[in-house]
């Protein structure tokens, strides 16, 4: 007795197409959820949807410079703009990453309490990665996805798997 298979079964090609679809869906989902994370941060909320806080001095400096007095991490815009995503194949895995590009940006121009400006204040440069690490080390829980966002990404991948 024999089993005869008729038709073009190219399992490798099918698997490669599904992996490519998963990679594409993961990339799209990460970009969407990262956009939501940035909007949450701009509204002054952390991962747990709690209002982020500022030191009294920093809050005063923001208000003096005409900015809002909330912790929204948007003074120069460089920190939030440096958050990006990538999807890559690592061994047999497809890995999605949300990270900070390591860029250098001018430090925010803080209006001093006095009219005197120093060269040190004018020429400071802040590396965005260092700034992000510093904020996280201070207990600012802004960088991350909520459980709902992680579930959204997982669901998109499941949909891609099912084809």
Residue 151 and residue 102 in contact, taking contact as beta carbons nearer than 8 Å = no
**What pLDDT was estimated at residue 107?**
53
What is the Cα–Cα distance from 141 to 160, expressed in whole angstroms?
Answer: 31
Residue 124 pLDDT class (50, 70, 90 cuts): very low
Question: Could you read off the pLDDT of 148-160 as tens digits, one per residue?
Answer: 999 999 999 999 8
**Where does residue 80 fall: left (phi above 0), alpha (psi -120 to 50 degrees), or beta otherwise?**
alpha
Residue 11 and residue 57 in contact, taking contact as beta carbons nearer than 8 Å = no
What is the Cα–Cα distance from 54 to 1, expressed in whole angstroms?
Answer: 78
**What pLDDT was estimated at residue 59?**
84
Residue 25 and residue 154 in contact, taking contact as beta carbons nearer than 8 Å = no
Name the β-bridge partners of 162.
Answer: none
Report the predicted TM-score, pTM, of the whole model to 2 decimal places.
Answer: 0.75
Write down the domain spans for the chain.
12-162
Query: What one-character DSSP code corresponds to residue 52?
Result: P
**What pLDDT was estimated at residue 119?**
46
């Amino acid at each position: 007795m024999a089993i005869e298979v008729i038709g073009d079964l190219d399992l490798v090609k099918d698997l490669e197409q599904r992996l490519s679809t998963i990679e594409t869906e993961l990339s799209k989902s990460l970009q969407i959820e990262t956009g939501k994370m940035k909007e949450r941060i701009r509204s002054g909320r952390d991962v747990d949807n709690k209002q982020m806080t500022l030191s009294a001095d920093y809050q005063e400096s923001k208000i003096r410079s005409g900015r809002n007095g909330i912790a929204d991490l948007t003074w120069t815009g460089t920190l939030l703009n440096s958050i990006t995503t990538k999807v890559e194949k690592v061994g047999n895995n497809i890995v999605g990453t949300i990270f900070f590009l390591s860029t250098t940006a001018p430090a925010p121009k803080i209006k001093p309490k006095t009219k005197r400006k120093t060269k040190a204040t004018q020429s400071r440069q802040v590396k965005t990665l260092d700034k992000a690490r510093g904020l996280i080390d201070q207990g600012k829980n802004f960088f991350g996805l909520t459980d709902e966002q992680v579930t959204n990404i997982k669901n998109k991948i499941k949909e891609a798997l099912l084809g």
